[in-house]
């Protein structure tokens, strides 16, 4: 008879790590299973030659610092996970090419941000400022809805949270227009859509405001030693609390008892039982690893009704010169061919939007002295990769992709990168599908658009998946994509499972 755990967490991504750390710290016998030989999922690092690359993290939202801790800081602090945070105090530089284009750099801090907006679009300051005044009011409503477990009192919503009711169901564009923010200013601010993968005429404004506010108020945070530092610090919490982590352990089957409740998993041919299973793995894959007779029709329909979120293509460059020698001065640059987010989204196969980061700007010694690293990211869906691409042509496809984007950036910035490339690595949705195991290589779980927006997810999540003994956390869960959302879902689900097993509220 196999050992029985209180909790098995499948997947050591950001959310799985926090969930396992939470259950282990609260005295539950916890097993974390990870198919790779190291923790983190997206939150990891990899080496090429003398360079250690950050594979995913551009900017972590909702961190704050010791004096002004935001959600992520508090989650790590409560768990006792230590991280050496570094901060970037510009939000981004946005360059739209062409004669009607612009080149704007925005600072963190509401007033500096609004000042930079006013300089770029004279007359827009007051309307942009109103957007930031709105946000604290609407978050109170969100906190209330969460406290009420998705079932708020209608009268309370109307009387106490009228501002929330006014904007909650609208898109970013609708809300910004109603606040009188001019089109050019909207386009500049909405450059950030690229981080959420849904264009702003479709994206729920609460979702966007949450990210915007966090980046503008606190600036973005990065761990000193790549996101691997975050994952290792959480793994340490699990081990220190007596939890067990098994790497190279891919769950291949979810097990159900006679009442249709999940009671364990099979990994490496071993049957492992638990009172509760937490999945950091996307529901689609869990259902494919389950006997179909155990999946309630509503759960299956829900999963199938959702659309997979966006993925990315990326280029990682290790250069044999410093960023100053190269002529790079920014951490994050968004390059666009058209100012309008919808056009950027629709035309994404034609270099309509890409993001370039230089980590040395925030962490000067993140590469050996006299060198720097550059990180290109292009929004790409799995279906954007040509369907008829043959395995033997894949390398050529990746190299052409890299060549095109690097050349484009060189021309735009008037710099020479190609003669300084010492190491290069290129990833596509195929890479992310293979590494993370997600359908179509989605890095953002399910797209948060239309009916499946952030509000619907938060309000309905307790009723969504109905299988007893099984909970989901991760970028595919109720808070959507991104590091901070994954940590929040790991924290919420971890505590919920502690309460369910130990009793309490």
Ligand X SMILES: Cc1cc2nc3c(=O)[nH]c(=O)nc-3n(C[C@H](O)[C@H](O)[C@H](O)COP(=O)(O)OP(=O)(O)OC[C@H]3O[C@@H](n4cnc5c(N)ncnc54)[C@H](O)[C@@H]3O)c2cc1C
Interface contacts to ligand X, rule CB under 6 A: 10-16, 33-36, 41-43, 56-60, 250-251, 280-281, 312, 314, 377, 432, 436-437, 443-444, 474-475, 481-484, 486
CB of residue 68 to ligand X, shortest distance in Å: 19
Rounded to an integer, what distance in angstroms lies between the CA atom of residue 479 and that of residue 6? 25
Q: Is the dihedral of CA 79, 29, 478, 223 positive or negative?
A: positive
d(CA 505, CA 496): 8
Whole-angstrom distance, CA of residue 306 vs CA of residue 287: 14
For 235, other C-beta atoms within 10 Å of its C-beta total: 23
Q: Where are the beta strands (DSSP E) in 3-145?
A: 4-10, 30-33, 46-48, 51-53, 85-88, 90-96, 102-107
Least distance in angstroms from the C-beta of 88 to ligand X: 11
CB nearer to ligand X: pick between 246 and 351: 246
Q: Give every CB contact of residue 491 below 8 A, 6+ residues apart in sequence.
A: 18, 19, 22, 75
Give 11 or 469: the residue with its C-beta nearer to ligand X: 11
Smallest distance, ligand X to C-beta of residue 270, A: 13
Nearer to ligand X by Cβ, of 108 and 436: the residue is 436
Of 31, 36, 29, nearest in space to 9 by CA: 31
The secondary structure element, H or E, covering residue 497 is helix 483-502
What is the closest distance, in whole angstroms, from the C-beta atom of residue 162 to ligand X in the complex? 31
Q: For ligand X, give the closer residue by CB, 58 or 398.
A: 58
Token pair 């969460």 is at which residue? 146
Min dist. Cβ of residue 14 to ligand X (A): 4
Cβ proximity to ligand X, 13 vs 223, nearer residue: 13
Task: Please identify, using beta-carbon distances, which residue of 52 and 325 lies nearer to ligand X.
Answer: 52
**Smallest distance from the beta carbon of 82 to ligand X, in angstroms?**
20
Give whichever of 135 and 195 is closer to ligand X, judged by the CB atom.
Answer: 195
Half-sphere CA count of 492, side-chain side, radius 13 A: 21
Cα separation, 350 vs 491, whole angstroms: 39
Cβ–Cβ < 8 Å for 334, 101: no
Helical spans, DSSP H, in 69-204: 71-79, 110-120, 125-147, 154-160, 162-167, 172-178, 183-189
Strands of the 372-380 sheet, one edge to the other: 102-107, 90-96, 332-336, 353-357, 372-380, 311-319, 421-427
φ, ψ of residue 190 in degrees (nearest 5): -75, 0
Q: Name 472's Cβ contacts closer than 8 Å, sequence gap at least 6.
A: 278, 279, 280, 283, 286, 465, 489, 493
Euclidean distance between CA atoms 188 and 500, whole angstroms: 46
CB of 331 to ligand X, least distance (A): 11
Hey, which bits of 300-405 come out as E strands? Answer: 311-319, 332-336, 353-357, 372-380
Token representation of residue 309: 């979120």
Q: Give the nearest distance from C-beta 56 to ligand X in angstroms.
A: 3
CB nearer ligand X, residue 128 or residue 272: 272
- The pair phi, psi for residue 224, each rounded to 5°, is -60, -40
CB of 153 to ligand X, least distance (A): 32
Q: Which is nearer to ligand X, 263 or 312 (CB)?
A: 312
User: Which two tokens mark 167?
Assistant: 């904007």
Kindly state the smallest distance separating residue 98's Cβ from ligand X, in Å: 27
3-state helix, strand, coil in the chain (%, to 5): 45, 20, 35
Name the minimum Å distance from CB 34 to ligand X: 5
Question: Whose Cβ is closer to ligand X: residue 34's or residue 173's?
Answer: 34
Between 26 and 332, whose beta carbon lies closer to ligand X? 332
Chain centroid, CA 105 distance in Å: 23
Min separation Cβ 22 and ligand X, Å: 13
Backbone angles phi, psi at 486, to 5 degrees: -60, -45
**Cβ proximity to ligand X, 36 vs 160, nearer residue:** 36
């Amino acid at each position: 008879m196999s050992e029985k755990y209180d909790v098995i967490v499948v997947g050591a991504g950001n959310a799985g790590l926090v969930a396992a750390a939470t259950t282990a710290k609260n005295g539950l016998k916890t097993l974390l299973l990870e198919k790779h030989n190291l923790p983190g999922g997206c939150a990891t690092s990899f080496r090429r030659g003398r360079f250690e690359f950050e594979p995913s993290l551009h900017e972590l939202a909702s961190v704050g610092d010791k004096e002004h801790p935001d959600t992520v800081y508090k989650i790590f602090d409560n768990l006792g996970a230590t991280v050496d945070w570094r901060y970037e105090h510009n939000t981004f530089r946005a360059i739209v090419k062409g004669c009607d284009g612009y080149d704007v750099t925005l600072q963190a801090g509401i007033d500096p941000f609004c000042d930079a907006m006013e300089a770029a679009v004279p007359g827009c300051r007051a309307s942009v400022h109103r957007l930031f005044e709105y946000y604290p009011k609407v978050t109170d409503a969100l906190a209330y809805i969460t406290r009420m477990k998705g079932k708020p009192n209608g009268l309370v919503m109307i009387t106490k949270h009228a501002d929330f009711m006014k904007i909650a169901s609208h898109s970013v564009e609708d809300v910004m227009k109603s606040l009188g923010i001019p089109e050019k200013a909207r386009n500049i601010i909405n450059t950030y859509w690229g981080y959420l993968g849904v264009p702003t005429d479709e994206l729920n404004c609460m979702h966007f405001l949450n990210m915007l506010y966090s980046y503008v108020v606190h600036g973005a945070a990065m761990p000193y030693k790549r996101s691997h530092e975050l994952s290792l610090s959480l793994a340490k919490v699990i081990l220190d609390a007596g939890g067990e982590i098994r790497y190279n352990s891919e769950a291949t089957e979810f097990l159900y008892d006679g009442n249709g409740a999940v009671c364990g998993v099979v990994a490496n041919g071993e049957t492992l039982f638990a009172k509760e299973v937490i999945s950091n793995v996307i529901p689609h894959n869990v259902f494919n690893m389950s006997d179909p007779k155990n999946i309630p029709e509503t759960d299956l329909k829900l999963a199938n009704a959702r659309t997979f979120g966006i993925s990315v293509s990326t280029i990682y460059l290790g250069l044999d010169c410093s960023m100053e020698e190269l002529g790079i001065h920014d951490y994050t640059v968004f390059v666009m061919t058209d100012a309008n987010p919808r056009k950027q989204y629709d035309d994404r196969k034609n270099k309509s939007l890409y993001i370039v980061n230089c980590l040395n700007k925030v962490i000067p010694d993140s590469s050996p002295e006299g060198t720097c690293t550059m990180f290109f990211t292009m929004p790409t869906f799995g279906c954007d990769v040509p369907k008829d691409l043959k395995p033997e042509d894949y390398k050529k496809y990746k190299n052409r992709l890299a060549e095109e984007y690097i050349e484009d950036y060189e021309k735009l910035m008037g710099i020479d990168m190609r003669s300084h490339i010492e190491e290069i690595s290129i990833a596509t949705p195929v890479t992310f599908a293979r590494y993370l195991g997600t359908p179509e290589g989605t890095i953002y779980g399910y797209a948060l658009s239309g009916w499946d927006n952030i509000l619907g997810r938060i309000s309905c999540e307790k009723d969504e998946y109905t299988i007893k003994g099984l909970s989901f956390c991760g970028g595919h869960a109720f808070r959507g994509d991104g590091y901070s959302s994954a940590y929040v879902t790991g924290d919420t689900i971890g505590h919920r499972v502690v309460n369910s097993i130990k009793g309490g509220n």
